[in-house]
Structure 1
Amino acid sequence: MTQFTSRAVRIDQNGGPEELKIVDVPVGEPGPGEIRIRHKAIGLNFIDVYQRSGLYPFPMPLQLGMEASGVVDAVGDGVTHLQVGDRAAYASNPPGSYSELRVMPAKCVCKLPDAISFETGAAMMLKGLTAQYLLKKARPVEGLEPGDHVLFHAAAGGVGLIACQWAKALGLQLIGTAGTDAKCQLVLANGAAHAINYNTQDFAARVKDITGGKGVKVVYDSVGKDTWDKSLECLRPFGLMASFGNASGAVPPFAPGMLGAKGSLYVTRQTLFTHIATREATQAMADDLFAVVLSGQVKIHIDQRYPLAEVQQAHRSLEARQTTGCTILTL
């Protein structure tokens, strides 16, 4: 059995960015349903921070990373949608993309269209597929129609900037929040109908002003604890609170009765990996994402690049909210 060696980023215990270590790991042959992929670029995501810190617990040691692009190096038995030499990209469990080379399940790996670069492929999969399911699948009970208002927190981030553009293409009036005036300008430049600086404005009051007191049909929230209560105030009756992250910390427990008092609201906690649990679902969502990117309606903004060796600094910048758009690690 052929053994290769790959540089990889691993943690031996949960903690801060200082726990991220570059190590050499052995990489073998792919088994049934697996591929080996040689990475060209790696995506950085907030879920990586959650796994490093222990908010999302994993057995140790843990090789981090959920997203990357590269070239298929070997294919295991039963894999028919990929061949050696294919350009490919993925967002996938288990973690391990912070590496030069890895063996992984093939079901969530998709062929990357020739017109999309490896860097864009690495930056767009987890964030773009997240935006896809939020706007197309995590929908309020009354549906979404062109002209409807939606509220999107952290709209200047990687998922947010994709969602701003995609929402505009769908005819939605997206209200984006961000933490600085410069980020608000970025949100508007990417198709949001309105932008709110939540550090200087009461976003719930502004949403009511923008919507003529009606509120929005859906709030998309990856911030968590800091935005939760006021987000519920932004919803119209039968509105949907779609939580998909905890950048400020986990949402505290709440009594379901409050949802009735606020207008018979719905709450959902979404995760991408439920949506891409099958090969067919993954491919259908990826095809939708590739189409909207190739059409030019959604541009993938890579605003930060770090060599793999600088992964600690990349995590510090992400946690300090010093980043916009997408961040990638380069090899």
Structure 2
Amino acid sequence: MTHAIRFHRTGGPEVLQWETVDLPPPAAGEVRLRHHAVGLNFIDTYHRSGLYPLPLPSGIGLEAAGVVEAVGEGVDAFAPGDRVAYTSGPLGAYAEARNIEARHLVRLPENISFEQGAAMMLQGITAHYLLHATYPVKAGETILVHAAAGGVGSILVQWAKLLGATVIGTVGNEEKAVRARALGCDHVIVYSREDFVGRVREITAGEGVAVVYDSVGRDTFLHSIASLRRRGTMVSYGNATGPVAPFDCALLQKSGSIFVTRPGLFDYIATRDELCERSAALFEVVGSGRLRVEINQRYALSDAAQAHRDLEARKTTGSTILLP
């Protein structure tokens, strides 16, 4: 027997329940994994609330790090005792232990802790594909990163600086502005008291930015488009304030022939090779010390509901982990 967070109906954080669950031996192709740390991500709130519908009842959570305890028939890439991490596969990371298909796992280097692994797999690989594939950022370009002090945002800022970009970051308050500057933002806009479109135009001498990375959604989408240069790229990769409302595509031409994309992590790690390539790049840049994964909040796994409350209330910065 083990424990996991599950929910039987959608709604607020109160629907998350700490339950005892049976854990059978791993099936063919699976491993049994004992979690040492579990990642908290905004997409978890979309699953819990019903924004991204799921069959119920359901587990929750997409990333964790831990140690392999047992392997099923046909698994030869991993053995008991291996340190691993993951950010794909069926929901269910909010658990003390679980069975998961071995194809979703990557080996965790010795210089990466379990806490780092759980905190950065989803957010770090997201930052990698956004910066290197969705819109490959080039040295000398000016970019706009919303929620620059948040989980993905804080990694985007640092990695974009390594690529030679000038980074404008938006945040919700002065405390987060201090953090964004420390991460490397060249310019920080506190959107709660500043017109970020006007400030972006001022900073770029009227031109606008090459790309906007927007995880906020409904409240910023149109303003983000208005911040782009001619033929700029709008990357909408989250819905923190709700889904983007329908809009007239003619707006894109009127705004300078803008490109809009809505990427998703799982299309960028659709193959085993892609998963290993992106995770290896992430492990290298973190392991070398050139990029910091800052874990600013830790909660007991059984307190996942409170972690969700704090995340949705914008009380968190950087990465958050849940500890079994």
TM over 0.5: yes
Please give the alpha-carbon distance, in whole angstroms, between the structure 2 residues aligned to 1:174 and 1:247.
Answer: 21
- Which SS does the other structure have where 2:134 is aligned? coil
| Matches for 1:258-277 after TM superposition, within 5 Å | 258-277=251-270
Of residues 299, 304, 318, the one that matches 1:306 is: 299
Residues 1:181 and 2:174 are matched in the alignment? yes
CA deviations over 1:55-82 (Å, ceiling 9, x no partner): 0000000111111000011223343432
2:49 pairs with 1:53: yes
Describe the SS at the equivalent of 1:107: helix
Alpha-carbon distance in structure 2 between the residues aligned to 1:226 and 1:274: 25
Q: Distance in 1 between matches of 2:211 and 2:192?
A: 22
Q: Residue type matched to 2:41 in 1? A: N
Contact 1:303 1:326 in 2 (8 A): yes
- Pair 1:41 & 2:34 matched: no
1:131 aligns with 2:127: yes
Counterpart Cα distance in 1 of 2:112 and 2:31: 21
Distance 2:159 2:26 in 1: 36
Give the distance between the partners of 2:234 and 2:26, measured in 1 at CA: 41
| Superposed displacement of residue 36, structure 1 | 1.4
Q: Distance in 2 between matches of 1:107 and 1:280?
A: 11
Residue in 2 that maps onto 1:194: 187
* Counterpart residue number, 1:161: 154
Contact 2:137 2:163 survives alignment (8 Å) = no
The one-letter code of the counterpart of 1:286 is S
Tell me whether 1:204 sits opposite 2:200 in the alignment.
no
For the Cα contact (< 8 Å) 1:147–1:173, is it kept in 2? yes
Q: How many angstroms apart in 2 are the aligned matches of 1:76 and 1:276?
A: 24
Distance 1:180 1:325 in 2: 14
SS of residue in 2 equivalent to 1:8: strand
Instruction: Could you tell me which runs of 5 or more consecutive residues in structure 1 were left unpaired when the two chains were aligned.
Output: none
Contact kept, 8 Å, 2:137 with 2:160, in 1: the verdict is no
- Pairing 1:283–2:276 present: yes
Partner in structure 1 of residue 312 of structure 2: 319
Counterpart for residue 12 of structure 2 = 16
Structure 2 CA distance for aligned equivalents of residues 66 and 96 of structure 1: 7
Aligned equivalents of 1:132 and 1:233: distance in 2? Answer: 25
Question: What is aligned with 2:108?
Answer: 112
Report the TM-score, using the length of structure 2 for normalisation.
0.98
Count the aligned residue pairs: 324
1:152 to 145, 159, 168: 145
Amino acid at match of 1:24: T
Partner secondary structure for residue 28 of structure 1:
coil
SS in 1 for 2:176: helix
Secondary structure of 1:52's counterpart equals helix
Range with greater deviation from structure 2 (313-322 or 72-81): 72-81
- SS in structure 1 of the partner of residue 22 of structure 2: strand
Amino acid at match of 1:193: D
Structure 2 residue identity aligned to 1:136: H
Moved more, 214-223 or 28-37: 28-37
Which whole-Å deviations, capped at 9, do the CAs of 1:151-194 have from their partners, x for residues lacking one? 11111101111111111111111111110011011011011111
Contact 2:34/2:96 (CA < 8 Å) preserved in 1?
Answer: yes
Q: TM-score, structure 1 length as denominator? A: 0.96
1:65 maps to 61
Structure 2 residue 219 is matched with structure 1 residue 226: yes
Aligned to 2:91: 95
Cα displacement (A) at 1:28: 1.4
- Structure 1 distance, partners of 2:187, 2:73, is 50
Q: Which amino acid aligns with 2:120?
A: M
2:127 maps to amino acid: A
Q: What is the rounded CA distance, in whole Å, between the counterparts of 1:78 and 1:267 in structure 2?
A: 43
Using the TM superposition, give the Cα deviation of residue 257 of structure 1 relative to its aligned residue in structure 2, in angstroms.
1.2
Q: Deviations over 1:71-124 (max 9, x none)?
A: 011223343432221101111131100001111122221100001111111101
Displacement after TM superposition at 1:145 (Å)? 1.9
Task: Give ranges in structure 2 of 5+ residues lacking alignment.
Answer: none
Aligned mates of 2:115, 2:227 — CA distance in 1:
37
**Equivalents in 1 of 2:120, 2:271: separation in Å?**
19
CA RMSD of aligned residues (A): 1.0
**1:282 Cα deviation (Å)?**
0.3
